[in-house]
Each structure stands twice: as structure tokens, then as C-alpha cells.
Amino acid sequence: MDDRNSKKILANNIRHYMELHNKTRNEMCTALNVKYTTFTDWVNAKTYPRIERIEQIASYFGIETSVLLEDPLRLPSDAILYQERPSRPIPIIGAINCGVPLLAEDNIEGYHETSLQDITSGETYFWLRAKGNSMVNVGIHEGDLLLIRQQNDVDSGDIAVVSIDENDATLKRVIKKENALILQPENPAYETKIFIGEEINSVQIRGRLMKLEKRF
């Protein structure tokens, strides 16, 4: 493939993804920290960016670098190029009750492919299956998958997996007050638990809810 054709393919692909994401040239220049004239030369196929710039553009659109370099002419004119987002398997560890506290099973029952966009490198994650209906007012229902980031503290208002007296695990909204910790369900039919003073030490935070995947 000659240099002129490579420039044209790249330019066409950049314009395609700009239209797909409704991005202007000014927005692209700001995001990539490049001059307007430089970016214009790229999308007009006058110059070819360095490979690190191509990688930066691909990352901005959430696609692989190779997608920007491939000739899409084999596809129908109205086709949208699809590239599977990078992912890695995250273990599904039992169930978490959203009603009466229930200890989550320690055994791994399977793995769920999880987009790298949903996780942070260096952190530990696991999936749990929701049980019960105490969190229905925030859209959590029986069978839903819950992505949990393992951590021993959360901000007030976060939804978290918590254990009580090292025995039971449950999913509740954690609210912190002066000298008090509140485990709040999202269903008025369930009781809010309030721990005061030394009682707070009986509550251990296991992780923060990061994502919900519905299961119908």
C-alpha cells in the first residue's frame, strides 16, 4: 500500500469516527492537544501522523489502532465499523443478599468478561449476583450482576458490600454521620440499620458497587 493511499484510509476513518461520535475538529484538537492546522492536514490526507498520535486518536474513540489503519471499502457504505473492546475475565463469587444479610459464597462459580474501561489497573474486582429486593429503588433486582471493587472504606452515600460481625454480607447504601454509621436499604419495606459509637466496629466494608448489569 503506497503512502498516499495510507493517508487517505486513515483520514477517512478519522472522519468516520468523528461523525459517529459527533465530534468537531476543534474538539478533537483540544482533546489531542494538537494545532488545528495539523489535525486538518491529517483529515485531508495531506500528512500522516506519527504512530503515537494514531494510538492517541484510537484511544480517544475507544477502538484498536488497527481499526484506523484498515481499509473499510469492503464494507457497505452505511456500515459502522465494530471493534470488540479489550476486556478480561473477572470472577463471579456467589451471591449477595439485598434483604436479610446473607454470607456471600467464597467459591468462584464462573467468570464474566469485563471491559477494561470499567476497571482500574492494580485494583481487585469481583462480580456478585444480587438476591432479594431491598435495593429495588436504585434498579437492583434479583439475578442482576454487581461489579464490586474490593476496598475497606467508601464515601458516605456509596453503595457497598458490608459484613456485620465478620459473618454476614449484604449490599446497602452506607451513610456516615458523626459517631454513627447507617446501612440504608433502597426499599421502604426494609429496616435501616444504625450503628452508634463502638457498634461501628462491628461493620466491615468489603467493597464498593461500581457497575450494575441487568439480567432479565
Give me the domains of the chain, ranges plus CATH numbers: 3-74 (1.10.260.40), 87-213 (2.10.109.10)
Q: Residue 171 corresponds to which cell in the numbers above? A: 449490599
- Judged on CB neighbours under 10 Å (0-12, 13-18, 19+), 37 is exposed
Tens place of pLDDT for every residue, the chain, 216 residues?
Answer: 456 778 888 999 999 899 888 888 888 999 899 999 999 999 998 998 988 899 999 988 888 888 888 876 555 555 555 555 677 888 888 777 676 655 444 567 778 888 888 898 889 999 998 988 999 999 999 889 999 999 999 999 999 999 988 777 889 999 999 999 999 999 999 999 999 999 999 999 999 999 999 866
Which residues participate in catalysis according to the annotation? Answer: 134, 172
| Residues ≥6 apart with Cβ < 8 Å to 211 | 118, 146, 147
Q: For the whole prediction, is pTM greater than 0.75?
A: no
- State phi, psi for 207 to the nearest 5 degrees: 175, 165
- Judged on CB neighbours under 10 Å (0-12, 13-18, 19+), 176 is middle
- State phi, psi for 125 to the nearest 5 degrees: -130, 155
Which pLDDT belongs to residue 186? 95
Which pLDDT belongs to residue 22? 87
Fill in the amino acid letter for 211: K
